[in-house]
Amino acid sequence: MESKVVQALGMRHEPVAIVWANERPEGASVFRPGKWGCVMWMLAGASRGKPAAFDRESYGCWGGGVGLGFGNQYKAFPGGEACFHYFLSVGNKHWDQGRTVSEKMQAAGGGAFVEDFTEGEGYLKDPVLVERFVQDLPIVDIPTRYVVFQPLKAVDPTQNPPQVVVFWAEPHQLAALVVLTNYARAGNEHVIVPFAAGCQSIGIYAYREAQSEKPRGVIGQMDLSARLNVCKTMGDHVLTFAAPWKLFLELEENVAGSFVERSVWGQLKARLGIANKDNTR
């Protein structure tokens, strides 16, 4: 399907539809079962026309399994969920079980993940805060086998409407999406920016919003690891904006007559055109 929002905001990247399905699309990219990978790689690929599919055996990483809606996959983290609490904070070198697991992984070959496992990513101050972080996540186990990423233009919403539409937005476009989300609503807080993995911002947080009468937009790519993983393909100046399907339809309806037809946005869009041209050199 074609999007009025994409045209009005001059989106450089094709939005991605997140669909729940029981069949895997032909030709979809998949992670090998048990093979590490970043879900955001697949989101970037889908914006370039390559669909992707995930299930409970092939979701890339433990946070990705959680973010896509396959339950609490942190329980499958090496050494268990407690080791994840240390991994995201101070590192597993600080306690006996963590050191034991770390030593076994070092003996098996080491690598960047083992270094982070041992030393910690430093994204939260201590393991107790990580435990609370996991408790506060809107973890869900979705009812279908697959989560599918499709380029929006390849989706027929009359067959299986997406759960979420994800925009890759540059700063001016992100600001416009926030304005457009609030355009026809009372109140000022219809967009959220959760502290979460990149895949969790486009997945479970947006899934949760989809259950609301007035679902909010979810800004993502605040995940530093996810930013590093896709900056070579998507550039340094993009964030994600996840719109639950109901919100996406609202945005589409409200394009006509809004600020996008006024001079301020016209001037910003012109500047965006210059920036886009520079970014493609």
pLDDT of 150-163, one tens digit each? 999 999 999 999 99
Does the pLDDT at position 280 exceed 80? Answer: no
Does the pLDDT at position 189 exceed 50? Answer: yes
How confident is the model at residue 279, as a pLDDT?
Answer: 42
Helices (H), 187-262: 198-202, 204-210, 224-234, 245-254
Strands (E), the chain: 16-21, 52-54, 146-151, 164-169, 191-192, 217-220, 239-244
pLDDT band at 274 (very low <50, low <70, confident <90, very high): low
What is the value of pTM for the model shown?
0.94
Sequence-ordered list of residues with C-beta below 8 angstroms from that of 125, at least 6 positions apart, any chain: 89, 90
Residue with tokens 């079980």: 97
pLDDT more than 90, % of the chain: 92
Mean pLDDT across the chain:
95
For helices 171-182 and 263-279, give the axis angle rounded to 10 degrees: 150
CA pair distance 1, 48, nearest whole angstrom? 15
Parallel, antiparallel, or unpaired for β 217-220 and 239-244?
antiparallel
Parallel, antiparallel, or unpaired for β 164-169 and 239-244?
antiparallel
